């Protein structure tokens, strides 16, 4: 249930209500908006809902009680109608500014990472991406530099001032990756790795949850709920394409998902046209389309020499195509009332 408090509610009232809910063994999630505080009470039995709602409404500081029938609650729009803005070391995601995350698919060496980081930062990127632990369909391909790569990523952050995002695949690595990363990435293959989602829910590092390649929007939001239910509310959703009958592109970028999840959830949404298309020449137009559809930003792969990339060269932008894309995004952002 969602309990919406009125403007008479004090901190003592919020505490009193929290204690009351906890005494009933309910999960308690608090969302403090500019005008209203909303409390999510998770675990009320269906047959008790009506009576409990009546008891709560008798409290002078309760405005309304809304039963939530959806399978996701804390990440649902009703919990924070004004939307979530996540502040990652000064970079806002979900606010008026469009956030561009860019960098190589995989960290390959110090030289290429530092060079790429500097370039994308000078050309408008605000978050640096780079994989140190790489998921791979083949057990024989490159799996990333591991902790060595994380150290290089931290060095690139010091060099450019950009916060960094990197993937974590294993529950055993969460603590280590949190030491270096400003945003954890959960990749498409791990969207339903519930032990990983729970572990990430326990930490307080922001997380970007990619949509599973064969997952419905509702399943994706339920995966986000796993993380939020453990108290980590700093979740960014990422549409990265789904598998369809079409094989011309690597995946089918589901542009529908962007306005749909913006409506269903208060979480920010980032588009990944690199994995969504698998083709570098489609990254720029699909980025533009995603921003026009309401995405809060894009994450794109950039490599100084895609023809030599150890991974995902065919979908990586070069320096010139990255700056071209940035110049196209700016007027689109403006047209939808945002800025780059
Ligand atoms: C990546 O970001 O490099 C990646 C592996 O993404 P996905 O999980 O979407 O395939
Ligand atoms: Mn990649």
Q: Which ligand is located closest to the Cα atom of residue 187?
A: 1
Ligand 2 centroid, distance to 136 Cα (angstroms) = 10
Ligand 1 shell residues, CB under 6 Å: 105, 131, 135, 187-188, 210, 240, 275
The stretches of the chain forming alpha helices (DSSP H) are 11-23, 49-57, 110-122, 147-160, 174-180, 194-202, 217-229, 257-264, 273-277, 280-292, 319-335
Which domains does the chain carry? Answer: 2-69 (3.30.70.1140), 86-335 (3.20.20.70)
* Residue range 36-60, pLDDT digits in tens: 999 999 999 999 999 999 999 999 9
For residue 241, give the ligand 1 atom closest to its CA.
9
* Pocket perturbation via mutation, ligand 1, pick of 103, 143, 166, 167 by most ligand atoms within 8 A of CB: 167
Residue with tokens 């970028």: 253
pLDDT on residue 326: 98
Q: What distance lies between CA 136 and its chain's CA centroid? A: 21
* Pocket perturbation via mutation, ligand 1, pick of 103, 132, 223, 272 by most ligand atoms within 8 A of CB: 272
- Tell me which residue has its CA closest to atom 4 in ligand 1: 187
pLDDT on residue 125: 98
Cα–Cα nearest to 260, from 216, 228, 210: 216
pLDDT on residue 199: 98
* Residue range 284-328, pLDDT digits in tens: 999 999 999 999 999 999 999 999 999 999 999 999 999 999 999
Could you say which residues of the chain have pLDDT below 50?
none
For residue 299, give the ligand 1 atom closest to its CA.
2
Residues 169, 170, 171, 175: is their CA dihedral positive or negative?
negative
pLDDT on residue 137: 83
- Alpha-carbon distance 335 to 328, whole Å? 12
Which residues sit opposite 239 in a β-bridge? 271
For residue 311, give the ligand 1 atom closest to its CA.
3
Provide the whole-model pTM: 0.96
Q: What angle do CA 44, 225, 80 make, to 5 degrees?
A: 80
For residue 190, give the ligand 1 atom closest to its CA.
8
Which residues sit opposite 28 in a β-bridge? 41
pLDDT on residue 136: 84
- Please give the full DSSP string across 43-81, using - where no structure is assigned: ---GGGHHHHHHHHHTSTTEEEEE---SS--TTBGGGST
Arithmetic mean of pLDDT over the chain: 97
Residue pair 169/190 in contact (Cβ under 8 Å)? The answer is yes
Residue with tokens 């945003």: 183
- Tell me which residue has its CA closest to atom 3 in ligand 1: 105
- Alpha-carbon distance 232 to 105, whole Å? 26
């Amino acid at each position: 249930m969602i309990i919406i408090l009125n403007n008479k509610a004090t901190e003592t009232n919020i505490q009193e209500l929290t204690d009351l809910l906890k005494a009933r063994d309910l999960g308690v999630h608090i969302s403090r908006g500019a005008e209203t505080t909303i409390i999510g009470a998770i675990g009320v039995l269906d047959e008790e809902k009506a009576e409990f709602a009546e008891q709560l409404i008798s409290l002078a500081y309760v405005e309304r009680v809304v039963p939530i029938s959806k399978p996701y609650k804390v990440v649902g729009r009703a919990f924070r109608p004004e939307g979530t803005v996540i502040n990652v070391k000064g970079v806002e995601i979900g606010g008026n500014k469009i956030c561009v995350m860019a960098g190589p698919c995989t960290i390959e060496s110090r030289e290429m990472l530092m060079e790429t980081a500097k370039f994308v930062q000078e050309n408008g990127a605000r978050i640096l991406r780079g994989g140190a632990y790489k998921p791979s369909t083949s057990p024989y391909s490159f799996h990333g530099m591991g902790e060595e790569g994380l150290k290089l990523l931290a060095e690139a952050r010091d060099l450019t001032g950009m916060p960094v995002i990197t993937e974590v695949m294993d529950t055993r690595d969460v603590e280590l990756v949190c030491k270096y990363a400003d945003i954890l990435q959960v990749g498409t293959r791990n969207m339903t790795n519930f032990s990983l989602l729970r572990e990430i829910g326990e930490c307080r590092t922001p997380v970007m949850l990619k949509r599973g390649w064969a997952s419905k929007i509702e399943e994706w939001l339920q995966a986000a709920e796993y993380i939020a239910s453990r108290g980590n509310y700093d979740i960014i959703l990422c549409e990265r394409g789904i598998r369809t009958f079409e094989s011309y592109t690597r995946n089918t970028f589901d542009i529908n998902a962007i306005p749909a999840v913006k409506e269903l959830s208060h979480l920010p949404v980032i588009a990944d046209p690199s994995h969504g298309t698998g083709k570098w020449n489609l990254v720029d137009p699909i980025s533009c389309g995603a921003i026009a559809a309401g995405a809060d930003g894009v994450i794109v792969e950039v490599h100084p020499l895609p023809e030599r990339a150890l991974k995902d060269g065919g979908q990586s932008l070069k320096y010139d195509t990255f700056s071209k894309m940035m110049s196209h995004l700016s007027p689109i952002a403006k047209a939808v009332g945002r800025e780059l």
